[in-house]
Amino acid sequence: MTRLSVNINKIATIRNARGGNMPDVEKAARDCETFGAEGITVHPRPDERHIRYSDVRAIRPGVKTEFNIEGNPIPSFRDLVLEVVPDQVTLVPDSHDAITSNQGWDTIANREFLTHICKLFKDKGIRTSIFIDPVPEMAEGAKACGCDRVELYTAGYAELFPENPEKAIRPYLETALRVKELGLGLNAGHDLNLDNLGYFVKTIPWTDEVSIGHAIICDALYMGLERTIQAYLAEIKKF
């Protein structure tokens, strides 16, 4: 069964826009779990424009499901992960000024670096996942780096889905099959929502985890956070 990890970055974005502690990010993480989320994801960036390093430290003790930290493994990020020791770390090659993640790793060109990072975190007992584009060769490169899972960058799928779902899923299915052959775990994330999530999970049912944040918070403005999380879980569990 595919697990739902809720990315709470956007909750921190709202808080930071006004200052103070409203909404309370720590409480939001606990509430997401109470409402059924099977994991909490955070993606701290160096400028701390949403989740702050201090948030990561504060949230960690209260997470009872699974804690996933995403980010570019720059030195400060590496130190934070080794200090906090999440259940999973997802390596994302986003630049410091990226609005949001916009590409996966070239696991072939960056093999030496990623191999070192994977070993660093795995030696600490942290499951490692590498964020990749839907290209089978990138999955093969990730396997060579020694990671446990890959996360497919699903923005391209989400963009094409309304026009042609079969065409949209094709490169993801091809890559996911290769991931399965390689013996790696499979995660997915970016722009997944209530419209396209079910088709993705139905087509690639061995997806271990989906990480969703922006769409959940957008839907929660109308449906409320509890109903929204329950709706996403129901969409996954249809299949």
- DSSP structure string for 177-225: HHHHHHT-EEEEESS--TTTHHHHHHHSTT--EEEE-HHHHHHHHHH-H
What is the per-residue pLDDT for 97? 57
pTM of the model: 0.95
185-189 and 149-153 strand pairing: parallel
Q: Closest Cα to residue 105, out of 194, 96, 97, 95?
A: 95
3-state SS assignment for residue 161: coil
- pLDDT tens digit string along 41-76? 999 998 899 999 999 999 999 999 999 999 999 999
Confidence (pLDDT) at 225: 98
Distance of CA 62 to the CA centre of its chain: 19
Candidates 33, 38, 43, 66; catalytic one: 43
* 70 tagged catalytic: yes
Q: Where are the beta strands (DSSP E) in the chain?
A: 3-7, 39-42, 67-71, 88-91, 127-132, 149-153, 185-189, 209-212
If one counts the domains in the chain, the total is 1
Q: What is the reported pLDDT for 98? A: 54
**Is 226 a catalytic site residue?**
no
Question: What pLDDT score was predicted for residue 34?
Answer: 98
Tokens of 202: 């139905």
Residue 20: give the domain boundaries. 3-237
Which pLDDT score is estimated for 46? 86
Looking at residue 96, its pLDDT comes to: 58
Give the active site residue among 50, 151, 190, 235.
190
Note the residue count of the chain: 239
CATH number of the domain to which 48 belongs:
3.20.20.70
Q: Active-site residue among 33, 38, 66, 70?
A: 70
Q: For each of the chain's 239 residues, which pLDDT tens digit applies? A: 899 999 999 999 999 999 999 999 999 999 999 999 999 999 999 889 999 999 999 999 999 999 999 999 999 999 999 999 999 999 999 765 554 556 899 999 999 999 999 999 999 999 999 999 999 999 999 999 999 999 999 999 999 999 999 999 999 999 999 999 999 999 999 999 999 999 999 999 999 999 999 999 999 999 999 999 999 999 999 87
